[in-house]
């Protein structure tokens, strides 16, 4: 199991390197595909992945990513309102086929998965984005790894005993510190290429620390949904890791945080 998980992780990192370094439409299209798969995994939990309700969610995701590329709608709120009207119409005219929880899941899923993940591409597109985009992964996967190591060594106080008994407060602190230190080291290595001063290096570290803290919310939220619906993994796409949502649960919530903090602080 460990070997499978390790090999899958190496392939995943290699794919991320290739797609993010390439950027542009390659990254946009790959992020759209990942979003579609993640959305399908979530919709499957609510049993709407093969329904008209789910189809509207998939269509909105495609339209949203097309708009990121071609900018045919300057105000994305038009899409949001249109999407809401369509799923409500589906709810009303096919009543009682869909439960209200499924309608809310259809709306939630698009923003939780598709829109949030799109900030990987959007972060890559800003100034110095080819370097800043890696903070998304440093503060999510880096925090997760650091939290695990510190938690195993020093963890005593449970952070969320009912939801995730193995996670500790000590591990959480270690994860945040790990995200900060990894980002500071990373920023120092690429300081010249990014044309930033030492103050900005530590600002980037602070951004990752905030992202790392919030990534735990994403991780636990994804776990809470699985607990509510009594499933172990969202999917089996990535051997040893589960589905897209199992591996990207913390990335989903950190991507927009890194984007906005970087835009306004750097």
Residue indicated by tokens 């899923």: 109
- Residues in the chain, overall count: 266
217 or 1, higher pLDDT: 217
Name the one residue in this structure whose structure tokens are 């800003």. Answer: 126
State CA 119 to chain mean position distance.
Answer: 9
Helices (H), the chain: 2-22, 24-45, 52-70, 77-93, 100-109, 116-124, 129-132, 134-154, 169-189, 191-194, 198-228, 244-265
Evaluate whether 143 touches 175 at the Cβ level (below 8 Å).
yes
Q: Provide, rounded to the nearest whole percent, the portion of the chain with pLDDT above 90.
A: 77
Rg from Cα positions in the chain:
19
97 has a pLDDT exceeding 60? yes
How far apart (Å, rounded) are the C-alpha atoms in residues 38 and 36? 5
What is the DSSP track for 226-253?
HHHTT-S-S-SSBTTTBSHHHHHHHHHH
What per-residue confidence (pLDDT) applies to 105?
Answer: 97
Mean pLDDT, the chain, integer: 92
> Is residue 239 predicted with pLDDT exceeding 90?
no
CA distance 183 to 127: 18
* Structure confidence at residue 1 (pLDDT): 57
pLDDT for residue 2: 56
Burial 31-54 (b: 16+ CB within 10 A, else e): bbebbbbbbbbbbbbbebbebbbb
- Answer yes or no: are the C-beta atoms of 147 and 172 closer than 8 Å: yes
pLDDT beyond 80 at 210: yes
Report, as an integer, the average pLDDT of 134-149: 90
What gap in Å lies between CA 113 and CA 22, rounded to an integer? 22
The CA distance from 93 to 97, in Å, is 9
CA-wise closest residue to 178 among 223, 141, 217: 141
- Least confident window among 68-72, 124-128, 148-152, 178-182: 148-152
Name which residue leads in pLDDT, 103 or 239: 103
Among the listed ranges 40-54, 122-136, 180-194, 232-246, which one has the minimum average pLDDT value? Answer: 232-246
pLDDT tens-digit map of 101-118: 999 999 999 999 999 999
Q: What percent of the chain lies above the pLDDT cut of 70?
A: 98
pLDDT band at 6 (very low <50, low <70, confident <90, very high): low
Question: Each residue of 13-43: pLDDT tens digit?
Answer: 788 889 999 999 999 999 999 999 999 999 9
> pLDDT-derived band of residue 164, with 50, 70 and 90 as boundaries?
confident
Closest CA to 94 of 67, 46, 54: 54
pLDDT (0 to 100) of residue 245: 94
Tell me if the bond preceding 96 is cis, omega within 30° of 0. Answer: yes
Tell me the mean pLDDT in the region 213-235: 92
pLDDT at 214: 95
Which residue would you say has higher pLDDT here, 95 or 148? Answer: 95
């Amino acid at each position: 199991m460990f070997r499978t998980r390790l090999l899958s992780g190496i392939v995943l990192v290699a794919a991320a390197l290739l797609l993010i370094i390439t950027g542009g439409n390659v990254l946009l299209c790959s992020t759209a595909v990942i979003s579609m798969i993640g959305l399908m995994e979530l919709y499957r939990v609510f049993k709407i992945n093969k329904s008209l309700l789910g189809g509207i969610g998939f269509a909105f995701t495609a339209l949203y990513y097309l708009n990121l590329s071609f900018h045919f709608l300057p105000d994305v709120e038009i899409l949001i309102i249109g999407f809401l009207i369509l799923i409500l119409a589906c709810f009303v005219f096919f009543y009682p086929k869909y439960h209200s929880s499924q309608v809310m899941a259809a709306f939630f899923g698009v923003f939780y998965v598709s829109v949030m993940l799109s900030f990987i591409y959007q972060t890559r597109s800003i100034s110095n984005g080819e370097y800043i985009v890696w903070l998304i992964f440093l503060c999510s996967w880096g925090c997760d790894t650091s939290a695990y190591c510190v938690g195993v060594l020093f963890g005593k106080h449970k952070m969320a005993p009912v939801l995730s008994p193995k996670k500790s407060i000590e591990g959480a602190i270690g994860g945040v510190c790990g995200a900060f230190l990894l980002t500071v080291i990373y920023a120092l290595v690429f300081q010249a290429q990014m044309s930033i001063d030492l103050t900005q290096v530590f600002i980037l570290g602070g951004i990752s620390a905030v992202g790392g803290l919030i990534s735990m919310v994403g991780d636990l939220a994804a776990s809470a949904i699985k607990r509510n619906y009594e499933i172990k993994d969202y999917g089996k796409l990535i051997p040893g890791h589960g589905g897209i949502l199992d591996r990207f649960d913390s990335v989903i919530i950190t991507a927009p945080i890194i984007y906005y903090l970087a835009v306004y602080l750097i």
